[in-house]
Amino acid sequence: MNLLIMGLPGAGKGTQAAKIVEEFHVAHISTGDMFRAAMANQTEMGVLAKSYIDKGELVPDEVTNGIVKERLAQDDIKETGFLLDGYPRTIEQAHALDQTLSDLGITLEGVINIEVNPESLLERLSGRFICRTCGATYHKVFNPTKVEGTCDNCQGHDFYQREDDKSEKVAYRINLQMESIRPILDYYEERGLLHRVDGQQAIDKVYEDIRQILSSVAQ
């Protein structure tokens, strides 16, 4: 089974990907893992990617696409299939993936998109705060301190929020991702490959929906 898993940051892709891999035994391929492996193994594309990263530059699409192709060409993919996570991020990468799969004689069988209300994502992602004294991490909604304003761990009262976790930064990231993901979802929907899953449900219920989709895809 050859699949993509998609969703906005905080939608729970990582959690669901782990469950899919455990049950269906496909190779979980995340963009970060691919880059690290390609650079560690000094593949042609890995060396190229490292040269950009070392200069603090963005890795161009053709290098990213090349790293994906190197990974999908490996022997384990023919045996197990794959679950690709974090790619494609643009419609151009989606077209490049089509070409890669065509070159390798592989068929994409399904695209799972975990859909979560952007306001819920904002709450999930911007609620984190940290104790300045001991570094303990909390969440306003999901993991608050037992006594408001007092760290459970060290009883300190000085908390802060990382710049990246502030609501305006999180909202900007979510909007950016929504803009880039929309044409990709439309593209796969037109091809009859897209399966939308309600990510607002409990984790196990989300997976039950995914499981039903994959069972029908596997037939």
CA distance 210 to 158: 42
* Domain-embedded: residue 192: yes
The Cα-based distances of 146 to 61, 91, 149, 162 in angstroms read: 47, 46, 9, 21
Pairing verdict, β 194-198 and 110-115 = parallel
Is 196 catalytic? The answer is no
Assign 180 to helix, strand or coil.
helix
| Tokens 């068929």 belong to residue | 107
CA dist 199 to 49, 193, 208, Å? 33, 18, 11
Count up the domains in the chain and report the number.
Answer: 1
What is the full per-residue pLDDT of the chain (219 aa) written as tens digits?
999 999 988 888 888 999 999 999 999 998 888 889 999 999 999 999 999 988 888 889 999 999 999 999 999 999 999 999 989 999 999 999 999 999 999 999 999 999 999 888 888 888 889 999 999 999 998 889 999 999 999 999 999 998 888 889 889 888 988 998 999 999 999 999 999 999 999 889 999 999 999 998 876
Is residue 159 assigned to a domain?
A: no
In a domain, 77, yes or no: yes
Q: Which one from 36, 78, 140, 162 is the annotated catalytic residue?
A: 162
pLDDT of residue 148: 94
Q: Is 128 a catalytic residue?
A: yes
Instruction: Give a yes or no: residue 187 inside a domain.
Output: yes
Quick check: is 191 catalytic? Answer: no
**ω into 88 cis (within 30 of 0):** yes
| pLDDT for 219 | 65
Structure-token pair, residue 13: 């892709």
Residue 135 lies in a domain: no
Q: Is there a catalytic annotation at residue 146?
A: no
Given the residues 50, 132, 173, 196, the one annotated as active site: 173
Q: Is residue 158 part of a domain?
A: no
The pLDDT score that the predictor gives to residue 56 is 86
Is 89 among the residues known to form the active site?
Answer: yes
Q: Nearest to residue 20, comparing CAs of 37, 5, 35, 8?
A: 5
Give the per-residue pLDDT at 6: 96
90-94: list long-range contacts, CB under 8 Å, 24+ apart.
Answer: 90/61, 90/180, 90/184, 91/183, 91/184, 91/187, 92/61, 93/61, 93/64, 93/65, 94/184, 94/187, 94/188
Evaluate whether residue 152 is within a structural domain. no
| Amino acid found at 181 | I
Amino acid at 123: E
Q: Residue 5: its pLDDT value, please?
A: 97
> Per the domain annotation, does 45 fall within a domain?
yes
Number of neighbours of residue 153 by Cβ within 10 angstroms: 14
Which residue segment(s) compose the domain that 108 sits in? 2-116+172-218
pLDDT given at position 144: 93
Whole-prediction pTM: 0.82
Instruction: Give residue 198's pLDDT.
Output: 96
The answer to whether 49 and 32 are in contact (CB under 8 A) is: no
d(CA 81, CA 62) in angstroms, rounded, equals: 23
Catalytic residue among 19, 50, 69, 89: 89
Q: Where are the beta strands (DSSP E) in 158-211?
A: 159-160, 194-198
The CATH number that applies at residue 82 is 3.40.50.300
